[in-house]
Amino acid sequence: MAGAWLCVAATMVVLLAFALSTTVECRTRNYKFNVVMTNTTKLCKSKPIVTVNGRFPGPTIVAREDDTVTVKVVNHVKYNVSIHWHGIRQLRTGWADGPAYITQCPIQPGGVYVYKFTLTGQRGTLWWHAHVLWLRATVHGSIVILPKLGVPYPFPKPNKEVVVVLGEWWKSDTEAVINQAQKSGQAPNVSDAHTINGNPGPMPSCLANGGFKLPVDEGKTYMLRIINAALNEELFFRIANHKLTVVEVDAVYVKPFTTDTILIAPGQTTNALITASQKAGKYLMAVSPFMDAPIAVDNLTATASLRYSGVLTSTAMKLVAPPPQNATPVANAFMNSLRSLNSKTYPANVPLTVDHSLFFTIGLGINACPTCVNGSRVVASINNVTFVMPTTALLQAHYFNISGVFTDDFPSKPLMPFNYTGSQLTSFSTNTGTKLYRLAYNSTVQLVLQDTGILTPESHPIHLHGFNFFVVGRGIGNFNPNKDPKNFNLVDPVERNTVGVPTGGWTAIRFKADNPGVWFMHCHLEVHTTWGLKMAFVVDNGKGPNESVIPPPSDLPKC
Ligand code: C2O
């Protein structure tokens, strides 16, 4: 509320000064999202897809830090829908966070819900996506949060900014893909293409398109706001003959560093500057998968092009080879380069003490399934718990004290420790439950995420709703609680909302539970979320006046 009053006060000051209303610093930005079935001839796809306002990728939300955003979502399709504003902190406004059955019941066919939230303490690129079923494959778009009026970027202002949304495309209907997989108990088909702003570039099987083109002028600088909206694949991004200077990830500024390859996991965003410093020409942009475990991925490279003004149509494209699919060193080099800016204006407030020290194993498992192809199904779990989605939204159950929806006994560490990344792997079948972990308001949390080798080790991009966290350490093999914390970076670790836990390794994060509500945490590989690699934190209200969940809006959907 304090924010709102400041906003009103600022508005009044501006009005008294007879300034134009467009200079009012914080204001409300209203959007309308019609969720519809859309026919697309692009990409040789015959069936209509679910989109927002008929667009793929969907519309961009542009707002400033401190603005309030409202989005009226109208569901015109046959599926249940909910929209998540990925990375927006949603301070006390969990009702607007979006994950179906976690913070709200989904918007049913024909239903309407207005999401309302304020952009507090964040600026940069984030994104929105459907958070139910596999609808986010086609229901997603970018969120651009500009700094407060008059506040510069902490790097030279680019001449132009361009949103670059990376995605994954299936020729068949994605709901059919996952339903079929769930029936059989096996992994779903990999995608048929990667896309750059909705376009894979020329493909042998599809003549309908020529790929996304980014026009540039010689000597000018561009900021690419890159988003990985793919369902299941971490991606490499490269541009022929051009270096990329990374300046922000997940809407937090970083110490700028220059690289020729960006690694971006599903859920993550990366702002990078490029200067059109080359001879006028055409330069290939390549997006390819990163996978360093024996797991099938879509190995097609999506392409787009950078085109200098004045270049002749006959000019040959300068090519670039994507990194090898299993290029772990390229991935590591990128991740190890990320550091918080940690300046006076943008400090890294890393929690230095720990109230809750948590150790979560993340990985796969196999459970019995009499009706499945092999009599078993692939599942996933955290601390051997395969999360079961409730039928009442957890935030309602918490807020209104409805019992029987969840328990708050999520284990803080594995109940049966084992050699997590060794070859002798004991526990294959998992337990099921709707278990949450309870945190007191403002308590500090250290969470070590440990990959397991059950079935196969694999890199997992873990996303936490409602918070940013600091990535204080990472390593290969089993986390060693005696040795590894000595090497934690508590000074300028990168701050983000989604982190890749390395294949057969671990990542340690820290955050402060300063946002009351129920907050989902899950692997952002959609197939793993479906399989149960998810849990939630319940953060109790604090005692102060602005430390509790606000009452739910009157149009909150019912289950
Ligand atoms: Cu981007 Cu829970 O999701």
CATH number at 466 reads 2.60.40.420
User: Given the CA of residue 98, which atom of ligand 1 is nearest to it?
Assistant: 2
| 265 and 400 together in one domain | no
| 125 and 251 together in one domain | no
| 388 and 532 together in one domain | yes
Q: Are 252 and 468 in contact (CB under 8 A)?
A: yes
* C-alpha of residue 131 to centroid of ligand 1, in Å: 7
Ligand 1 within 6 A of 131 CB? Answer: yes
* C-alpha of residue 136 to centroid of ligand 1, in Å: 9
Cα separation, 508 vs 499, in Å, equals 10
Tokens 């990128």: give the residue.
334
Quick check: is 350 in a domain? no
- Total structural domains in the chain? 3
Of the three residues 278, 305, 336, the one that is the final residue of a domain is: 336
Q: What is the pTM of this model?
A: 0.95
| 484 and 374 together in one domain | yes
| 136 and 170 together in one domain | no
Quick check: is 525 in a domain? yes
If 0-12 CB within 10 Å is exposed, 13-18 middle and 19+ buried, where does residue 35 land? buried
| 192 and 108 together in one domain | no
CA 267 to each of CA 164, 251, 279, 526: distance values in angstroms, whole numbers, following the listed order: 14, 12, 34, 10
Ligand 1 within 6 A of 242 CB? Answer: no
| 139 and 164 together in one domain | no
| 78 and 121 together in one domain | yes
* C-alpha of residue 291 to centroid of ligand 1, in Å: 21
Range of the domain at 448: 356-547
User: Given the CA of residue 87, which atom of ligand 1 is nearest to it?
Assistant: 1
Q: Which two tokens stand for residue 422?
A: 């060794």
Ligand 1 within 6 A of 129 CB? Answer: yes
Quick check: is 341 in a domain? no
Of the three residues 307, 336, 365, the one that is the final residue of a domain is: 336
| 470 and 381 together in one domain | yes
Ligand 1 within 6 A of 128 CB? Answer: no
Q: Whose CA is nearest to atom 3 of ligand 1?
A: 86
| 110 and 201 together in one domain | no
Quick check: is 492 in a domain? yes
Of the three residues 124, 146, 168, the one that is the final residue of a domain is: 146
Quick check: is 347 in a domain? no
Quick check: is 45 in a domain? yes
CA 62 to each of CA 10, 123, 214, 512: distance values in angstroms, whole numbers, following the listed order: 20, 11, 20, 28
Quick check: is 349 in a domain? no
| 376 and 486 together in one domain | yes
Cα separation, 260 vs 243, in Å, equals 5
| 71 and 184 together in one domain | no
What tens-digit pLDDT sequence spans the chain (559 residues)?
344 444 544 444 434 444 444 445 669 999 999 999 998 766 667 789 999 999 999 999 999 999 999 999 999 999 999 999 999 999 999 999 999 999 999 999 999 999 999 999 999 999 999 999 999 999 999 999 999 999 999 999 999 999 999 999 998 999 999 999 999 999 999 999 999 999 988 876 665 567 899 999 999 999 999 999 999 999 999 999 999 999 999 999 999 999 999 999 999 999 999 999 999 999 999 999 999 999 999 999 999 999 999 999 899 999 999 999 999 999 999 999 999 999 999 999 999 999 999 999 999 999 999 999 999 999 999 999 999 999 999 999 999 999 999 999 999 999 999 999 987 676 689 999 999 999 999 999 999 999 999 999 999 999 999 999 999 999 999 999 999 999 999 999 999 999 999 999 999 999 999 999 999 999 999 999 999 999 999 999 999 999 999 999 999 999 9
Quick check: is 384 in a domain? yes
